[in-house]
Amino acid sequence: MKRFLWCLLAPMLLAGCSPEPGKPAQGEKAKPAVKEPEYLAGRAAFQQLYVAAHGWGRDAQPYRLESQITPDSNGKDGKSGVWRASFASAAQRGIKPYTWSGSNAPDAPERGVSPGTEDTYNPTNASTRAFDVAFLKVDSDKALESALQHGGDKLMQKDPNQPVLYVLEWNAGENGLVWHVIFGTSHNEAKLTVMVNASTDNFIRVEK
């Protein structure tokens, strides 16, 4: 009789010891929830990078902001999962990049803001010409709208997954801050590059 009762109770006891589906067993650590990827337009990402750079050099000024293509972010809607800004500091006598990432892609930088490697600053180098942030009035999504009106829309119609890169820098020829909206995975391999004034949103020209 006792053996019969044990046979009936054993499955119930074992079931009570088993963890509920989706819950960790006793002593086992719960896995942290995976955050959804985050995509930002250029100015929102830049603000975070600017704050970080001023922790390095109080006089730090930006000279370049660029997006990065990742498997989960191809530049759609003027946003990106990874942005990188480069800063120059006369006081530190150096230049230093900072990267913001909201991407979950395996090859993407760690989420959040992270510093890069510091290098020597040469004020006479045209490629590191710093600009005043007050000139940045037009965001990357608005720059994309202008670029779409000058050839980009045809490319997007052919391929809705067309990757788009965004590069912001001071242009000596235009004597102003400009967005380069690049339809492609790099400047050299672009199908089309459109230059847009980052202060007025005026179309400047098609570069390629």
Ranges of each domain in the chain: 40-206
What pLDDT shows up at residue 187?
Answer: 86
* Signed CA dihedral, 174, 179, 181, 184: sign only: positive
What pLDDT shows up at residue 6?
Answer: 44
What pLDDT shows up at residue 13?
Answer: 45
CA nearest to 136, candidates 65, 54, 32, 34: 65
Low-confidence ranges of the chain (pLDDT < 50): 2, 4-18
What digits encode the pLDDT tens for the residues 62-86?
999 999 999 999 999 999 999 999 9
Q: Who contacts 49 (Cβ-Cβ below 8 Å, separation ≥6)?
A: 62, 65, 83, 84, 85, 98, 99, 100, 113
In terms of pTM, does the model score above 0.85?
no
What pLDDT shows up at residue 147?
Answer: 97
What pLDDT shows up at residue 66?
Answer: 98
- Exposure class string for 31-45: b at 16+ Cβ within 10 A, else e: eeeeeebbbbbbbeb
